[in-house]
Amino acid sequence: RTLATMLAGMATLTPGTAARAEDGYRLWMRYDAPAGAQIDVRGGSPTLAVAAAELRHGLTGDAGPVVIAAATDAAVAALRLPTAELGPEGYLVRRVTLAGRPVVLVTGNTDVGVLYGAFALLRHLGTGGTAADVALRSAPKIKLRVLNHWDNLDGVVERGYAGQSLWDWWTLPDFKDPRYADYARANASLGINGTVLNNVNAKAESLTAPYVAKAAALADVFRPYGIRVYLSARFSAPIELGGLKTADPRDPDVAAWWKAKADEIYRTIPDFGGFLVKANSEGQPGPRDYGATHAEGANMLAAAVAPHGGIVMWRAFVYADTDPDDRAKQAYTEFKPLDGTFADNVLVQVKNGAIDFQPREPFHPLFGAMPKTPLMMEFQITKEYLGFATHLAYLGPLFEETLAADTRVRGKGSTVAKVVEGALEGHTLTGIAGVANIGRDRDWSGSSFNQANWYAFGRLAWDPALSAEAIAREWAQQTFGTDPRVVEPAVGMMMASREAVVDYTGPLGLAHLMGTGHHYGPAPWVSDLKRPEWNPVYYHRADRQGIGFDRTKTGSNGVAQYAPAVATLFADPKTTPERDLLWFHHLSWDWKTQSGRSLWEELVHRYDRGVATVADMRRQWDGLKPLVDAERWQKTATYLAVQEREARWWRDASLAYWMSVNGRALPAGVAAPA
């Protein structure tokens, strides 16, 4: 480039670019109080130190004196506060009189509980509360609240849309980028207490000494924030790293190799959390390569980490050849018979739905079906099938819908949340995972609103009973300020957004209609891929007469995998929730829907509604221009324009295809696309 073009480029930089104060880097933790708060820290742990630093950052002098101390502190213990039910991670924040002085006390049974209390106090203040009225008490309902990073060792994030991996493997372990601590702060502010650093499609190399040392450096940064490090393990590592001939879990040499590997990891990372494993799925090696079961594979690894208090998260995301007629049935077919055979320190990690993180899926039939095994929920925070980083889709309602779904396995109220919390079957080892949407972008998640999905996952992991709307509101208040003229439209946009994506990509229970490989745009016409279940036509089964996947007795009978009370509902199109209609049924284009419209008319109506909702979101955001900083406003406005264009693309391409199949015209009154 010539000097002239370089200078011209520089001239277009906006003032203040260097500071980039509004680029979203600070996430929902935008507090920046002038010094003045009086923080009394009772205890000297690194965790209490970071809690104090956070409060100094966020509290003004008006808060009055704040004392942070574990409940074991003599002065706090003397108050006889109800701390027993807080467990090891809960917190209590309230006004008390300590040594004759009124103070705000932040306490918990452990220092990490205190840290969570500090963040709860900041959230209380950031959402319009005051120190005068503070009275907070909460304990997490799920034990392991974990992010899964699908980060490869070369820095590429699988299904990541926010830049390169945050982990700079090249400069670790020597250089600990300050950003790692900011990452830990953000997670701790939500109560996330674990992170799996590398992709489930794992390379054996991640278990070599140099990489374990790098993971250890990250663990050192995360430790004060209550976050443990886990690694994805490649099942064939004993062959690739250990030179063994087999990775058969029943082979004593294989078990011994893993035991030695676990011992080595724990020497370097004493509080290492354990392994996450994707086995015999999409080309990954696993126990089935040797005729052994998933349980035998998981238990062998579990035995290696058990002496150190570690756990194994074994994924149920498999689709092999067990049920060629219906991919949605396969995980259940393979895992259900293994219930009761997993070791005590194994959790089976199940995706929210039986296919793959679609904009909408009914809950996975495994929830409730393996009472003797702790089932860990796996949500996807990164929007692989919901428009990547560009489309605005707040996932709170998706998470909430799944957690609130009733499995009916022990009568009414046997919700998926209760299964995951362990409450239904009395498990104490419980967990929830979210596939992270975090990368090296300045705003971490690729857009301001994507940050809300990280936030919502963390908040629901702590308490699955929180409402998606309440979470949206508290996020918006902390992210854009508490002015209701901003907060209410932002919440309205968020709450409508995911349903809009469902409407313009696949309404009424349609799923998996995206382009292969990238999963971004529409491709319901694709039918020539190698494996039948990769093809969109496999899922929608549209022909001249009708559309939808028959999972009743006349089809794959996938409904039978649900408890009888649910199976009965899903077996009849009249009692199937309309949102899941074509997931379970193949129906005539003339089928009469609840609105009175024919199925064809209703589909068209919903595609249109999706586009209209996005147009409305744009209008609402335009109205916020004077109230939101220019940088975040502009990026969101630009992305909404992209989303509207692409919602039309989805609708028009999909309808054109359906019309080519059913030979019908657009219903009267619907204008053909311009």
Residues at the interface with ligand GCU (CB under 6 A): 158-159, 200-201, 278, 282, 317, 356, 384
CB 519, min distance to ligand GCU, A: 6
Cα maximum dimension of the chain: 82
Nearest residue (CB) to ligand GCU, 159 versus 418: 159
Nearest residue (CB) to ligand GCU, 92 versus 277: 277
Cross-strand partners of 375: 348
Task: Tell me the C-alpha distance between 512 and 385, whole Å.
Answer: 8
282 is catalytic: yes
CB 177, min distance to ligand GCU, A: 26
Nearest residue (CB) to ligand GCU, 159 versus 329: 159
Q: Are 542 and 658 contacting, i.e. CB atoms less than 8 angstroms apart? A: yes
Active-site residue, selected from the candidate residues 282, 483, 543, 590: 282
- Helices first, then strands: H and E counts in the chain: 20, 15
CB 328, min distance to ligand GCU, A: 14
Residue type, 393: A
Q: Angle 200-318-406 (CA atoms, 0-180°, nearest 5)?
A: 105
CB 200, min distance to ligand GCU, A: 5
Task: Tell me the C-alpha distance between 28 and 26, whole Å.
Answer: 6
Nearest residue (CB) to ligand GCU, 89 versus 356: 356
Helices (H), 288-356: 294-305, 330-335
Cross-strand partners of 23: none
CB contact set of 10 (below 8 Å; sequence gap of 6+): none
Report residue 162 as tokens: 């926010």
Dihedrals phi, psi of 186, to nearest 5 degrees: -60, -45
601 is catalytic: no
Q: How many CB atoms lie within 10 A of CB 40?
A: 14
Report residue 362 as tokens: 């009914």
Task: Tell me the C-alpha distance between 227 and 180, whole Å.
Answer: 12
Helix (H) or strand (E) holding 107: strand 101-107
CB 158, min distance to ligand GCU, A: 5
Nearest residue (CB) to ligand GCU, 25 versus 520: 520
Nearest residue (CB) to ligand GCU, 159 versus 383: 159
CB contact set of 298 (below 8 Å; sequence gap of 6+): 277, 312, 314, 342, 343, 346, 348
443 is catalytic: no
Orientation angle between helical segments 252-268 and 209-222, nearest 10 degrees: 40
Q: Select from 564, 570, 566, 567 the least CA-distant residue to 582.
A: 570
CB 457, min distance to ligand GCU, A: 16
What is the b/e burial string over 124-146, where b = at least 16 CB atoms within 10 angstroms of the residue's CB? bbbbeeebeebeebbbbbbbbbb
Dihedrals phi, psi of 195, to nearest 5 degrees: -145, 130
CB 281, min distance to ligand GCU, A: 6
CB 40, min distance to ligand GCU, A: 47
Q: Are 285 and 236 contacting, i.e. CB atoms less than 8 angstroms apart? A: yes
Active-site residue, selected from the candidate residues 356, 406, 474, 580: 356
Active-site residue, selected from the candidate residues 151, 296, 384, 406: 384
Task: Identify the DSSP state of 665.
Answer: P
Nearest residue (CB) to ligand GCU, 389 versus 617: 389
Nearest residue (CB) to ligand GCU, 26 versus 149: 149
Q: Which residues are catalytic?
A: 282, 356, 384
